């Protein structure tokens, strides 16, 4: 029976969340949780002796605490795969960046897919392999504590990407300002530059302005 978060995979973690959100009755919920953590059917759990059942219920206590994120590593051994962490923004391919932007919008829903953007099979280039196999390996073998550590990394990465994007757009706006002759257009561009330099709030103004 899985009795701590270090042993709990991402896949199992989401099964646990589903059980908690599904069952209101304590006994039904505990039975379903034990089934998930023991890889058994509910009927098998109900056929346990009372003493064994109580023992396994006690084993659920770790779920009362939140999982603690683990430090990130450069390489992860996941099932039969060795996956290297791509943590250098300058080495991201266009495909990685596009996939990242897609999955980061709903990180809780697409955690596995998001992880797969940065966990690359050793010796491979992004996308030059069966992505479904990587998804399955991550879902079935990566612990939730490792996943949370990586998720925290993705958050800081997201902030870095936003900062990089704002810097790039600001430079582009300044070049446009030098070329623009129309006073009204120059005013709009200058307003956008001011907002971008103030913290990126001008991003929404770029629609229709940057072609």
pLDDT, tens digit, for every residue of 165-204?
A: 556 666 777 888 888 888 888 887 787 777 656 654 433 3
pTM of the model: 0.72
- Cβ-based neighbours of 188, under 8 Å, separated by 6 or more: 205, 209
Cβ neighbours of residue 211 closer than 8 Å, sequence gap 6 or more: none
pLDDT digits (tens, 9 = 90+) for 61-86: 999 999 999 999 999 999 889 999 99
Find all residues with CB under 8 Å of 152, minimum gap 6, and list them: 69
What pLDDT is stored for residue 168 in this prediction?
62
* Range from 16-20, 84-88, 107-111, 181-185 that averages highest in pLDDT: 16-20
Residue 206: its pLDDT value, please?
35
């Amino acid at each position: 029976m899985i009795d701590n978060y270090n042993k709990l995979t991402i896949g199992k973690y989401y099964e646990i969340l589903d059980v908690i959100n599904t069952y209101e009755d304590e006994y039904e919920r505990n039975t379903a949780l034990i089934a998930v953590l023991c890889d058994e059917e509910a009927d098998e759990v109900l056929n346990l002796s009372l003493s064994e059942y109580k023992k396994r219920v006690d084993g659920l206590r770790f779920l009362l605490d939140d999982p603690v994120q683990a430090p990130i590593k450069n390489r992860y051994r996941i099932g039969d795969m060795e996956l290297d962490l791509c943590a250098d923004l300058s080495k991201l391919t266009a495909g990685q960046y596009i996939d990242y932007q897609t999955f980061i919008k709903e990180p809780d829903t697409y955690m596995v897919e998001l992880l797969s953007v940065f966990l690359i099979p050793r010796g491979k280039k992004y996308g030059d392999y069966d992505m479904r196999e990587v998804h399955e390996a991550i879902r079935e073998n990566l612990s939730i504590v490792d996943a949370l550590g990586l998720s925290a990394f993705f958050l800081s990465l997201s902030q870095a990407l936003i900062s990089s994007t704002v810097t790039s757009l600001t430079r582009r706006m300044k070049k446009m300002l030098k070329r623009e002759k129309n006073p009204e257009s120059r005013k709009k561009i200058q307003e956008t530059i001011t907002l971008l330099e103030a913290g990126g709030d001008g991003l929404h103004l770029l629609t229709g302005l940057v072609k």
